[in-house]
Structure 1
Amino acid sequence: MQLSRINLGKFRDSQSFQDRNVRVRYTNAELSAPIKLMEHAELTVTDEWNNLKEQLKEAVMKMEKMNDELTKVKRDFTIKLDATAKLSSGELSSVKSDSAAAVMKLGEKNNELTNKLEGTRRELEKTKTELEKTRSGLSKTVNNLSEKINETEKKLTNFSTEFKMNIQRVGHEIEVTEGNVKKDLRGKNFQQIGNCNKKFGLDDDGIEQHEIGRCGFDQNVKW
């Protein structure tokens, strides 16, 4: 079965469509309803034709609008051209002179702007050079400060180590001095005990507690 009508909307924009015959394959199975391909094809073609007519109508309206606009532009241009043609030679000379003066002013303004731009460019280059120098100086300053900080940290570390060693040494010296002082005090007290025993007729084994004050011993000495 071949269809002589096809869906134009489906293949209108296709570049590869060549065969205009659409073939439909079917089997011997019983169909539950008749197939009305012809009516469907006719409806599709009719819809496509209506769409084309609408598009053509819109295109015609746009062309008419463009034609009206072109006519208006042509009329305005003709009016201006006629007005220009009516100018006298003196008016044309005046217009030419004014135009020349305007061109001269524009040239002067252009030169002025060029000079200002050149001055601004030089100032920017000068500022750029100064900024580069400043950045270089700051970089050197930062490097110097970093070196000084590192040296200071090393000195503080060494000072801390020496300080700890000095504290330990002084602590040891204090302990030694305390030991020597205690020994001296004990020696003096023992000597006083001996003298006190002789004074009060006591034995050398010891002295009574209540006699310590009388003999002038240092009661705070640790034995």
Structure 2
Amino acid sequence: ALEVLASSLRIVPSASLGRAAAAERARTREVATAAADLRRKVLAREPWHWPAGATPRALIGDAAQAAGIEIADIDRVPHDHVRAASLTALTLGERLDLVLAHYDLRVAWGTRPRIVAVEAADAIAVATDSRPRGSTSPRQPRGPGVDVFTLRLEAPLDEALAAIATRLGLVLDLDRDSLAARGMQPGEIVRARVTDASREELLDAVVGPLGLRWTIADKRLRVFAP
């Protein structure tokens, strides 16, 4: 399933849909009423990089310590190991919740910041909310009938394309044979970031860096290696 956040797009199991968005809404509400110094730290933007084998508990603790914030109940974060990653600039709050979302946790930004569980009821409410929101929702039109999109993505190619095709109201036709002929895997990680892009620019940004091409005909999005 596709979960759209303010600065990123996540592909998640259907059972987890809505939890990251619920955490985002809670964070926005809490940070808005936080003390000025804490709010400044939580909203500070920085890129984030970590090596393979890093633990989420250490990532959360180190990022908070670097910002001069003490977060309670950090032992609720599982002792796990994650793959290497390199993220573009996000706020501290976004970065922490991005990692915690894998465990249905978030940071509660109260007087004493702490790790808490994302409430299932809140997640259900967000998942069923049909109002336009998030980074892949159409933004202001460039002209009559033309939507533009903003997307920040890091996900397997086949999953990303399936989610984007669904968002665009299209059926995905991924030519896996042509990819195999080029020595490419459908699950190859694709990274893309676009702002106020047309549908065409959005698709170019996703498949172009991999040397792929796309066509749309009869409500089908075909992606192939030339």
User: What is the TM-score when the length of structure 2 is the normalising length?
Assistant: 0.17
* Structure with larger Rg: 1
Structure whose residues are more often strand by fraction: 2
Q: State the structure with bigger RCO (CA 8 A, min sep 6), 1 or 2.
A: 2
Structure whose residues are more often helix by fraction: 1
